[in-house]
Chains A and B, each alone.
Chain A
Amino acid sequence: MNRRKVIKRLALGVASLSAAGIPYGLSRLLAPDRLTTSKIHYLRPPGALSDATAFNEACIGCGLCGEVCPPKCILFSDREGGSRLNTPFIDPAKKGCILCGKCMEVCPTDALTEVDRKDIKMGIAQIDRTACYPWVDRGVCGACVVACPLGEHAIGFDFANMYRPVIKKGCVGCGVCVEVCPHPSLPIRIAERGSSTVVVHQI
């Protein structure tokens, strides 16, 4: 009798917990994009499907992209939960992508589709000209220009001043410049393509 009561209560608890999930599911059904688009820009590995929802649905969370990444720049959102759970992202402040293309090649589900190196669209870098050392005349630097894996197509020096970096059209947003920038406030950020807002990377 007592055991039956305990089981009944357990079942009731499970039922009420799952009932609490129904509004969430309904809201996802009615507005699937509302919850995934937040102000935080998730820098995905190269070749990622541009639509965030499509990417989360295609990714099975196998972690292969991270396991082949030579600089180990691909991390996984493992504690935040939600539909992004176990999907890969890149935190350029820690490590930038070197555009080697191994992750695109190994991805089993085409969540990362193989594209040519210069056609990768992860984002585009922005330089905060009120912080970058050469732009505020606090010395010479050029670390970002030296480190850029795409070279002069993506980043170069300002014509008037040899050491002021400027982003060019070819930038794919790999984030190596963010990684190497010596300024503590990280004046370089990777913005989503097509949006001109200043972005915040996660964590």
Chain B
Amino acid sequence: MSSPDSKPFFLWRHLNKLRWLSLSIVFLMLILIPFLHLYQTYIAAHAYDLLYPSEKVIYDSMETLTAPFISDPENDLDLLKGTTWSGRLFGLDLSDPLALAGQIAASGKLLWPFVLTALIPIGLTLLLGRFFCGWICPASFLYELNTTLGAWLRNIGLHTGQRRMSRKFKYLVLFVGLLLSPLLGSVAVAAIYPPAIVGREIYYAIALGGFGVGAVFFAATLLFDLLVARRGFCRYLCPGGALYSLLGKFRLLRIQRVVEDCNDCAKCNAVCEFGLDPLRDGFGMECNNCTACIAVCPTDALVFKVTPKDQPDRGPGHLGRQYRRAHNENAEDEHEP
């Protein structure tokens, strides 16, 4: 009944909480970094006494926050810069693979220093699939909160959109976006890619005094998710999601169902924000290893496995009623709970 790899480590059932922690940390960093930059500019100006009271609050709090770790804030804080689109994480330059694809498409040139910054995310995506969407993406953080809002709205009796479209549409968005880039003379996908938008709009709002046009677009995608399809933008339109899905097609780390432990309760299908079908082994390219289904599974039937391919549909779970009815003639599992 219980397979050997069902509980590999002690945090097993709490991976989803860990994921929320990771999403919140990334989001808080995106808010913190502009404030750190403001702090740096105040230091560079050498005029503490001329700051406004509100600016002094920023200066003092950031000084308190960073003083234990760094000695020269004006230069040392440069080690932590940017957004998930392209940034510097403790001195390590990282870029979104979509930024690389968009830039190559727009300028037609391969810039090796830039390619190097995208190598680590590409490698991780090849191994882990769409993990960025579930574990890091700052837009995902807001979209999942948006989904929660949608659930509340349904609880009070309002309708939210539950439409289904073709998942392939996002590949069209990706390729049209890349093809249009040289035509439009800019990296077109950067303007419609939510994590890039969220990162830069937070910076604009905090450091430059106001949201840009991207905030309007992002608000529209939130409404789209609420009124048309749950997590619709990520599932059907996001060009980055499309690229990650393509890169993660043969990912090694996959959530798989242990058919012997499954009792067909279908909670996994209900909780899956991407509308996948864990109940019948339908994970595919879109699964972003978010582990929400693992957290909700009452019988620990969903586990991580290292395999380059999904297993085929293995039918009804062995603890479920359907399976037992079909195998009742054997009458072996009568004592099962």
Which chain A residues have a beta carbon within 8 Å of chain B's beta carbons?
Answer: 25, 28-29, 32, 36, 53-54, 56-64, 66-72, 75-76, 78-79, 81-87, 102, 106, 108-110
Contact A108 B184 (CB under 8 A): no
| Min distance, Cβ A102 to any Cβ of chain B, angstroms | 7
Contacts A57-B185, A76-B212 given: A68-B107 contact, CB under 8 Å? Answer: no
Contacts A62-B83, A62-B87, A83-B185 given: A108-B93 contact, CB under 8 Å? Answer: yes
Cα of A64 to Cα of B38 in the assembled complex, Å = 14
Which chain B residues have a beta carbon within 8 Å of chain A's beta carbons?
Answer: 33-34, 37-38, 40-41, 44-45, 74, 78, 81-83, 85-88, 93, 95, 99, 102-103, 106-107, 109, 111, 113-114, 117, 180-187, 190-191, 196, 199-200, 203-204, 207-208, 211-214
Cα of A106 to Cα of B87 in the assembled complex, Å = 9
Contact A57 B207 (CB under 8 A): no
A62 proximity list for chain B (CB < 8 A): 82-83, 85-87, 95, 99, 196, 200
Contact B213 A72 (CB under 8 A): no
Known: A57-B181, A64-B82. 8 other contacts (CB 8 A): A25-B183, A54-B107, A57-B103, A64-B88, A67-B34, A76-B200, A79-B212, A87-B186
Contact A102 B78 (CB under 8 A): yes
| Min distance, Cβ B43 to any Cβ of chain A, angstroms | 8
- Which A residue sits closest to B102, measured CB to CB? A60
Cα of A56 to Cα of B23 in the assembled complex, Å = 31
B34 proximity list for chain A (CB < 8 A): 67
From A32, A59, A66, A81, contact of B203 by CB (8 A): A66
A61 proximity list for chain B (CB < 8 A): 85, 187, 190-191, 196, 200
B186 proximity list for chain A (CB < 8 A): 56-57, 59, 82-85, 87
- Which B residue sits closest to A72, measured CB to CB? B41
| Min distance, Cβ A144 to any Cβ of chain B, angstroms | 19
Contacts A59-B187, A60-B190 given: A78-B213 contact, CB under 8 Å? Answer: yes
Contact B86 A64 (CB under 8 A): yes
A60 proximity list for chain B (CB < 8 A): 85-86, 95, 99, 102-103, 187, 190
Contact B184 A83 (CB under 8 A): yes
Contact A57 B41 (CB under 8 A): no
- Which B residue sits closest to A52, measured CB to CB? B185
Contact B191 A64 (CB under 8 A): no
Contacts A71-B45, A85-B213, A86-B200 given: A109-B103 contact, CB under 8 Å? Answer: yes
B87 proximity list for chain A (CB < 8 A): 62, 64
- Which A residue sits closest to B81, measured CB to CB? A67
Contact B88 A106 (CB under 8 A): yes
Contact B191 A76 (CB under 8 A): no
Cα of A53 to Cα of B106 in the assembled complex, Å = 10
B74 proximity list for chain A (CB < 8 A): 70
Contact A108 B113 (CB under 8 A): yes
Contacts A84-B186, A108-B95 given: A68-B78 contact, CB under 8 Å? Answer: yes
A57 proximity list for chain B (CB < 8 A): 103, 106-107, 181-182, 185-187
From B33, B41, B185, B196, contact of A36 by CB (8 A): B185
B187 proximity list for chain A (CB < 8 A): 57, 59-61
**Residue of A62, A75, A83, A84 contacting most chain B CB atoms (<10 Å):** A62
- Which A residue sits closest to B210, measured CB to CB? A78
From A67, A72, A82, A87, contact of B33 by CB (8 A): A67
| Min distance, Cβ A78 to any Cβ of chain B, angstroms | 3
| Min distance, Cβ B180 to any Cβ of chain A, angstroms | 7
Cα of A29 to Cα of B181 in the assembled complex, Å = 11
Contacts A61-B196, A79-B213 given: A28-B83 contact, CB under 8 Å? Answer: no
From B83, B111, B184, B199, contact of A110 by CB (8 A): B111
Contact A28 B114 (CB under 8 A): no
A32 proximity list for chain B (CB < 8 A): 185
- Which B residue sits closest to A64, measured CB to CB? B82
Cα of A28 to Cα of B82 in the assembled complex, Å = 31
Contact A63 B203 (CB under 8 A): yes
B78 proximity list for chain A (CB < 8 A): 68, 102, 106
| Min distance, Cβ A114 to any Cβ of chain B, angstroms | 11
Contact A63 B190 (CB under 8 A): no
B213 proximity list for chain A (CB < 8 A): 78-79, 81, 85
Contact A58 B81 (CB under 8 A): no
B85 proximity list for chain A (CB < 8 A): 60-62
B117 proximity list for chain A (CB < 8 A): 108
Q: List 15 A-B contacts (CB under 8 A).
A: A25-B183, A28-B184, A56-B186, A58-B103, A58-B107, A60-B95, A61-B85, A72-B37, A76-B204, A76-B208, A85-B191, A85-B213, A86-B191, A106-B88, A108-B95
B86 proximity list for chain A (CB < 8 A): 60, 62, 64, 108-109
Cα of A15 to Cα of B176 in the assembled complex, Å = 14
Cα of A54 to Cα of B111 in the assembled complex, Å = 14
Cα of A70 to Cα of B39 in the assembled complex, Å = 10
B211 proximity list for chain A (CB < 8 A): 78
